[in-house]
Homo-oligomer: A and B are copies of this chain.
């Protein structure tokens, strides 16, 4: 219990067999309220296996959906006053957009205002791919220039420099489900608390009533131009024919392969996932899962099992780093047991990249500790478990290997040997 309390929204023990259903209801209630999160119920074995009369047990109504809360109109009006004065607004959409099921309202808001928009965290997938306002490469520049920044379910945490990536005199409009999150690391000039679908709806209603015509098409176009410049500079890197394979080339191969497919993508790694999220287009709604801000590696196959079981109509592709694969790669055994045709692709460079590069930079390449790996044949391990394996040493082998893996109808792994970058930093990595 003491171990679970600090990492859950609610944790308790039930000491009375008759009250187990009540405790389950309490756990669900807390798990789904506000920003959802885990709840933990401990039932000692003697309580769990106790026998009771049915009539002594209360079976509460399970409310698995949280209530939808609407923000006060005043807060919306206040936010719009700030937005009206904006010349270069930028929006970042994140996790709470997803928990609010607010994707369609967010889309409508973007289409109405043409505010340049970025996504992060679980916000990936909440804006339709192809939306002109949806940008990626130009993020840093856009934030540096903006005069109003809309945090749509996004926190100004370390990923956004704790708010310092935005000019000190820019205004912040923050929208979130819970008041406790407003003002995290930097104060909001206006705050809209409530379900984000309701918040966007209200914003558009108030704009209509007020006859507002907020249209940032030209600011958007200016950024699109810059986005394309960066994209083409970057694209040059994607076509490397180097052997061992350049990580960006690997990502390009994945991008090309999934382009026309209905795939749930799951990232389980450090640098390779960071690279992939730069190269791959923003995915469709609910089609991206990754280790989250705390970098909890090992989520790949557990997430994939859940995704494949709940969406048997879709294919699932895990993008692995080799360090991550070692953590829960053994769960391919589970995929084999349940006959789930999940495909993984692992970029093997024989090191823990996000650890070894800072070590080398700070302490020198000769004082590296516990960050080297083998060039293990992970594909053969998966074959040994009864799955399908592929092994690639040259970039042009990746596409066909992925084809065969998807076609095999089995749990499959494509093992790609990459260039090992220790001292210089992966090209375009989070460390450059």
Contact = CB atoms under 8 A, between A and B. Distances in A.
Interface of A: 2-3, 5-7, 15, 22, 25, 29-30, 32-34, 49, 58, 60-61, 63, 66-72, 74-75, 178-180, 182-183, 185-189, 191, 193-194, 198, 326-327, 329-330, 333, 336-337, 362, 372-374, 376-377, 380-381, 383-386
Contacts of A58: 186
Contacts of A25: 183, 187
Given A3-B3, A33-B178, A381-B385, A70 B70 contact: yes
Residue of A3, A70, A193 most packed against chain B (CB within 10 A): A70
Contacts of A182: 29, 63, 67
Given A71-B70, A183-B60, A376 B386 contact: yes
Contacts of A75: 67
Contacts of A327: 330
A66 B193 CA distance: 9
Contacts of A29: 179-180, 182-183
Contact of A70 (B69, B180, B374, B384): B69
A420 to B, nearest CB: 15
B377 A33 contact: no
Given A6-B2, A374-B386, A383-B384, A67 B333 contact: no
Contacts of A329: 330
A329 B34 CA distance: 40
Residue of A71, A377, A381 most packed against chain B (CB within 10 A): A381
